[in-house]
Amino acid sequence: MLDLKFVRENPEIVKQNIRNKFQDAKLPLVDEVIALDEESRKTKKEADDLRADRNRISKQIGALMGQGKREEAEAVKKQVTEAQAHLAELENRERELEEKIRKIMLTIPNIIDPSVPIGRNDTENVEVQRYGEPVVPDFEIPYHTEIMERFNGIDLDSARRVAGNGFYYLMGDIARLHSAVIAYARDFMIGRGFTYCVPPFMIRSDVVTGVMSFAEMDAMMYKIEGEDLYLIGTSEHSMIGKFIDTIIPEEELPKTLTSYSPCFRKEKGAHGIEERGVYRIHQFEKQEMIVVCRPEESPMWFDKLWQNTVDLFRSLDIPVRTLECCSGDLADLKVKSVDVEAWSPRQKKYFEVGSCSNLGDAQARRLRIRVNGADGKKYFAHTLNNTVVAPPRMLIAFLENNLQADGTVRIPKALQPYMGGMTELK
């Protein structure tokens, strides 16, 4: 969410940013919120003036009563009653205007970083760099569920009967591999100085609207019926929410946390054949990382976060690349984003396994996360998040890149301690 003062003083910058995100339908909102803000400030001033007059007149009543001037005092009381009725109208109008302004401000997108490439959608994202040599073996790579089935490692039919489409049972060594990847990612991030955390898996609506846009919320979140609770779509939601309504001493920054959680997502819409199996599902587990820091440090942390994911995948011998997300592919709260994609030998192309985002002060402004500076002045923190690893998709990349011609799956050295010393799956 932008600062209303910034919108008021820089309407053309805000409008151009909307155009850069190809959201022209939102352009009228800028003038609308500026007009509402002007009316709100006028209404507030009138109400403040009326309160001051009411207080001044109220003091006169006591003085008149003390002088025995009861009739004059009653006349003044009538003025106070009339003023109070008008004040109530103004206060109601103030609340209405504040609600309208907030609703629009939650819809106007954040200002993107000048380095972000301009493009309509993810087809115009820009490749930044490749890490590791992508290999296509001289034997056929089966679809990932077929590989898992060879190890009796997945049961989709039972999951459909129990929960419907978009769910799965992982079994045996494949289930163990899933847990090993999560444990390895946890220790990997602890080794990089992040504090490990297991957060709440449900959050209240004020946290939901604090961490994401309405469009994202509708497309992703499952609501608990009859309660003000939502199942998290990623632990970033509850991890950033941890700091709601707090003032953090500047010397305690940065806050660097890595968190484990299950994730729940609606995943609306039809998906292609490559997104069957465990690629796009309603429930999965993930290791996440978040940072809360000073504004001037967020670009540095942004580069550190996506590099962590690259380094983790390369430690497991999986080739990856980074993509700079274009303007039209950025969610409304994001300033800048980089996707990490893993190599798929079967598809002979890369696919997304993680996303790193700098949200500037957008989440902090919505959640009222402030920093108490060394000079005593308070300011909004910057927040960032990134996927360490989400095993369902990571398992696809892992199995495809480590499958051998004889059908075994190689276990990279870094993961062997988490698999009881196993060097391969047979």
Name the active-site residue from 94, 250, 352, 410.
352
Q: Are residues 214 and 156 in the same domain?
A: yes
In a domain, 115, yes or no: no
pLDDT digits 0-9 by tens, 157-199: 999 999 998 899 999 999 999 999 999 999 999 999 999 999 9
- Contacts by residues 5-14 (CB-CB < 8 Å, ≥ 24 positions apart): 7/33, 7/34, 7/37, 7/105, 7/108, 8/34, 8/37, 13/111, 14/108, 14/111
pLDDT digits 0-9 by tens, 270-315: 455 455 678 888 999 999 999 999 999 999 999 999 999 999 999 9
Taking a C-beta distance cutoff of 8 angstroms, is the pair 278, 165 a contact?
A: no
Q: Are residues 256 and 153 in the same domain?
A: yes
- pLDDT, position 87: 83
In a domain, 116, yes or no: no
Q: Which two tokens stand for residue 94?
A: 């103030």
Query: Catalytic residue at 70?
Result: no
Averaged over 254-269, what is the pLDDT? 90
Q: Are residues 70 and 155 in the same domain?
A: no
pLDDT, averaged across the chain: 92
Taking a C-beta distance cutoff of 8 angstroms, is the pair 282, 267 a contact?
A: yes
Q: Are residues 207 and 291 in the same domain?
A: yes
Q: Are residues 207 and 61 in the same domain?
A: no
In a domain, 114, yes or no: no
Q: Which of 53, 76, 105 corresponds to the end of one domain?
A: 105
Report the domain count for the chain. Answer: 2
Q: d(Cα 294, Cα 298) in Å, to the nearest integer?
A: 7
In a domain, 293, yes or no: yes
Query: Catalytic residue at 352?
Result: yes
Q: Which of 105, 133, 155 corresponds to the end of one domain?
A: 105
Amino acid at residue number 118: I
Name the active-site residue from 235, 366, 393, 400.
393
pLDDT digits 0-9 by tens, 128-167: 999 999 999 999 999 999 999 999 999 999 999 999 988 9
Q: Which of 105, 132, 155 corresponds to the end of one domain?
A: 105
pLDDT digits 0-9 by tens, 51-78: 887 777 666 666 656 666 666 766 666 7
Query: Catalytic residue at 321?
Result: no
Taken in order 240, 243, 249, 251, is the CA torsion positive or negative?
Answer: negative
**pLDDT of residue 399 exceeding 50:** yes
Q: Are residues 100 and 131 in the same domain?
A: no
- pLDDT, position 384: 98
From residue 237, alpha-carbon distances to 29, 202, 264 in Å are 27, 9, 12
Domain extent for 221: 122-425
Name the active-site residue from 355, 357, 370, 400.
355
Q: Are residues 415 and 279 in the same domain?
A: yes
In a domain, 305, yes or no: yes
Q: What CATH number corresponds to the domain at position 278?
A: 3.30.930.10
Query: Catalytic residue at 280?
Result: yes
- pLDDT, position 270: 47
- pLDDT, position 276: 67
Which residues lie across from 338 on neighbouring strands?
324, 356
Q: What CATH number corresponds to the domain at position 66?
A: 1.10.287.40
In a domain, 111, yes or no: no
Name the active-site residue from 130, 280, 294, 314.
280
In a domain, 402, yes or no: yes
Q: Are residues 197 and 256 in the same domain?
A: yes
Name the active-site residue from 150, 186, 265, 321.
265
